[in-house]
Amino acid sequence: MTRVLAIARNTLREVARERVVLVLAMFGLALVVGAQALSPLALGEGRKVVIDFGLAGASLLATTLAVFLGSTLLHKELERRTVYSILAKPIRREEFLIGKFLGLWFTTSMLLAGMAVILLAVVTLAYRDTPWQILGAVGLTLMELGIVTAVVILFSSFTTPALTAFFAVAATVAGHFAEDLRYFASQGASPAVQALTQGAYWILPHLDVFNARGLVVHGLSVGPDRLAFGFAYGLLYAIGIMVLAGVIFRRREFR
Amino acid sequence: MPRDRKAHLPAPSLTSGLREVEPLPPVRLENVSKVYRDPMTLRPFTAVDGVSLTLERGEILGLLGPNGAGKTSTIKMILGLTRPTRGVIRIEGRDPWDSDARKRLGYLPENPCFYDHLGAAEYLDLVGALFGLSRVASRRRSEALLARLGLAAHARKPLRKFSKGMTQRLGICQALLNEPSLLVLDEPMSGLDPIGRAEAKQLLREERDKGTTILLSSHVLSETESLCDRVAILHRGRVHEVGGVSELLSSGVLEWEIAVDSLSDERAAILRSRGHSVQSVGRRWVVRVERESEVQEVLRDLVQERATIRSVEPRRESLEDYFVRALGADGRPAS
């Protein structure tokens, strides 16, 4: 575990020192604060708009960061050959990969948590009421970030940064529409298409599980059942993906 | 060589029925081959072809060969970065793929590159954690190594600001952090200035004296010659020859070099006509005589000529000469 944490800490430092993190953090801050500026146009629904806009923006930024930083993370190690010195140490390749995953997940989670704190402060100051419900939604988004990060690490373990970003974005977008995918396929599609979409339905992450903005916007809390299911599903899916990534990375040859 | 290299071999005992357990060699390669496939054409390329090699405890073995000989591929298989296509590699009896086999291994890659975002001390902290060292032990060891390699003043400097020589010295620090019993060094002198090279050589000798086994690949043959106990010559993926440096090189004198201050054109022509080489080097002349029996005669002639003789030196074969003789000047085996 020490070795995994050492790699995670190093990844956290590496990612946190990238300028893009600062730029995205500033952008997130502007988005959350900017939502407040739009509230007068919302005909008395300003609080809802700020929370909805703020949560969606924070989630989008954290996901973007996970995809675009994660897609180059392993590639840079291989290209600059820093990985050679590290993997010649008594560390298993799977430990290295898990460390990378944890470091990236922790960084994006910190960014998300920071934006959530700002959102809480903005809403509290503007409406004299603290929307603690958003913490449940943020918790679920953290688990979604875990899945996205694992998917990015999986693709980066065997393909190029561009393809990694493409596949990760595709999986994330499709993951948000996994339920719709099966529904549309059942509407008169051929058996082959149905089998294909059924397969995709089971393989793709069901990211809509983690979207609780609808509840929070209307002042409702995310129930403990939903939270527990989201955490369990997110954890199991991420572990499954990381096991697959580990198997692929273990077979990789460093020429 | 401070120790008897055969000391680890068990002495046959006639009085006891129990056999002493023979310590495992630090590194053993048995008929190891590595075949790569071109990712586009899938055509196979044999980088290492049936290499068998055993390192003995406490020796420095030089892995030498022209570019593409298979040195780095061999090293990567020893480190578990690639798998052999055929054959067996063992580090102290363990498969290098097993991470525990690398606990007492130090590695310096060729042209090392470390994390730009870290400082030297931070990088060594990371390495210490990977070796499972306690923070205190890791700090103590890294401070001593940074001081020894002249990097103490740069411990907090970001690695992106390090020169090539400084990076190389940090590479040596990280390779030695875990007090390894086996050191694998790929071109360890690369990027170092003459003082740095002398210090690195001294450090490696000290490590060897402590019992560390060292495998180093190098193309700087003159340095290898003065550092290694044995050398293995790799060529086109195969071991061309293995042996002590002095065993590989012909023990005899290749020629005698006589340096003189002045020489008349007439005398130079006479010496050339007798088959000797005469060259003007700056303000001096160098006469090269192949046969020892003719040296006296040439010296007598030069004294008669009233030439001032500055030096008379035998020139023995170097590893460079060996390479040219054994593999041909272009790296192809001499017929």
What is the full per-residue pLDDT of chain B (335 aa) written as tens digits?
A: 333 333 444 444 444 555 556 678 888 999 999 998 887 888 888 989 999 999 999 899 999 887 788 889 999 999 999 999 999 999 988 999 888 889 999 999 988 889 988 899 999 999 999 999 999 999 999 999 999 888 888 888 998 899 988 999 999 999 999 999 999 999 888 878 778 788 888 889 999 999 999 999 887 666 677 788 888 888 888 988 888 877 776 555 678 888 888 888 888 888 899 888 898 877 788 899 988 888 888 999 888 888 888 888 777 766 667 777 776 655 554 43
What is the pTM for the complete model shown? 0.79
Q: Are A45 and B67 in contact (CB under 8 A)?
A: no
* Partner-chain contact B129 A92, CB within 8 Å: no
The C-alpha R_g of chain B, in whole angstroms, comes to 25
The token pair at B165 is 């020589």
Q: Which two tokens stand for residue B335?
A: 């017929």
Q: What is the 3-state secondary structure (H, E, C) of A37-54?
A: HHHHHHCCCHHHHHHHHH
> What is the residue whose two structure tokens read 């990015």?
A152
- A253 and chain B in contact, CB less than 8 A: yes
CA B219 to chain centre: 8
Q: By CA distance, what is A79's nearest residue in B?
A: B113
Q: Give the amino acid at B329.
A: A
Inter-chain touch B132–A81, beta carbons under 8 Å: no
Q: What's residue A236's pLDDT? A: 95
Which of B140-151 are b and which e, b meaning 16 or more Cβ less than 10 Å from the residue's Cβ? ebbeebbebbeb
Identify the burial level of A157 via C-beta atoms within 10 angstroms of its C-beta, where 0-12 means exposed, 13-18 middle and 19 or more buried: buried
Rounded CA gap, A190 and A43, in Å? 47
Is the CB of A13 less than 8 angstroms away from the CB of B118? Answer: yes
Whether the CB-CB separation of B302 and B256 falls below 8 Å is answered with: no
Quote the minimal CA–CA distance from B218 to chain A in Å. Answer: 18
d(CA B220, nearest CA chain A) in Å: 23
The minimal CB distance from B81 to the residues A3, A80, A254 is found for A254
Half-sphere exposure of B48 (CA within 13 A, CB side): 29
State whether residue A6 sits within 8 Å of chain B by CB: yes
* Set of chain A residues whose Cβ sits within 8 Å of the Cβ of B82: 253-255
Q: Quote the tokens at residue B112.
A: 């090392």
* Two tokens, residue B73: 């591929």
Q: Is the dihedral of CA A198, A200, A205, A211 positive or negative?
A: negative
Q: For residue A116, what are the β-bridge partners?
A: none
Q: Which residues of A touch B80 (CB under 8 A)?
A: 87-88
> What is the rounded CA–CA span in Å between residue B198 and residue B196?
5
Q: Does B76 touch chain A (CB under 8 A)?
A: yes
Residue B33's pLDDT is what? 93
Contact residues, chain A, for B122 at CB < 8 Å: 13
- Residues of the domain holding A56: 2-251
Q: Are B213 and B230 in contact (CB under 8 A)?
A: no
pLDDT of residue B264: 83
For B174, nearest residue in chain A (alpha carbons)? A85
Report the side by side order of strands in the sheet with B105-108.
Answer: B105-108, B182-186, B213-217, B60-64, B230-235, B238-244
Tokens of residue A9, six digits: 């800490």
Judged by CB atoms closer than 8 Å, whether chains meet at A88 and B132 is answered as no
Q: Which residue of A72, A89, A95 to mutate against B (max B Cβ within 10 Å)?
A: A89
Closest chain A residue to B113 measured between Cα atoms? A82
Any bridge partners for residue B277, and if so which? B288
pLDDT of residue B335: 38
Q: How far apart are CA A197 and CA A207, in angstroms?
A: 16
Residue with tokens 């009233």: B306
Q: Which domains does chain B have, with CATH numbers?
A: 27-248 (3.40.50.300), 253-316 (3.30.70.980)
- Most A CBs within 10 Å: which of B46, B76, B81, as the mutation test of the A interface? B81
Distance CA B289, CA B242 (A): 31
Give the SS3 label for residue A222.
Answer: coil
Contacts of A133 (CB under 8 A, 6+ apart): A215, A216, A219, A220, A221, A222
| Cα–chain center distance at B236 | 18
Q: What tokens does B129 get?
A: 């954690």
pLDDT digit string, tens, across residues B59-88: 999 998 877 888 899 999 999 999 999 999
Q: Residue A118, SS3?
A: helix
- CA distance linking residue A19 with residue A25, whole number of Å: 10
Q: Does B253 touch chain A (CB under 8 A)?
A: no
Nearest-Cα residue of chain A relative to residue B102 = A90
Task: Say if the Cβ atoms of A14 and B100 lie within 8 Å.
Answer: no
Does an H or E element contain B270, and which? helix B265-273
- Reference A52, options A137, A126, A110, A124; nearest CA is A137
Contact by Cβ (8 Å): A226, A212: yes
A44-103: per-residue pLDDT in tens? 677 777 788 888 888 888 898 899 888 888 888 888 889 999 999 999 999 999 999 999
pLDDT in tens, B138-167: 999 999 999 988 888 888 899 889 998 899
Instruction: Say whether residue A85 is in contact with chain B using an 8 A CB cutoff.
Output: yes
B230-235/B60-64 β-pairing: parallel
Chain A stretch 149-208, residues whose beta carbon is closer than 8 A to a beta carbon of chain B: none
- Domains in chain A: how many in total? 1
Q: Which two tokens stand for residue A178?
A: 């996994």
Select from A121, A134, A139 the least CA-distant residue to A219: A134
What pLDDT is stored for residue A248 in this prediction? 93
Check CB contact of B299 with chain A, cutoff 8 Å: no
Say if residues B196 and B168 touch (Cβ distance below 8 Å).
Answer: yes
| B113–A82 CB contact, under 8 Å | yes
**Which DSSP state fits A158?**
T
Helix, strand, or coil (residue A21): helix
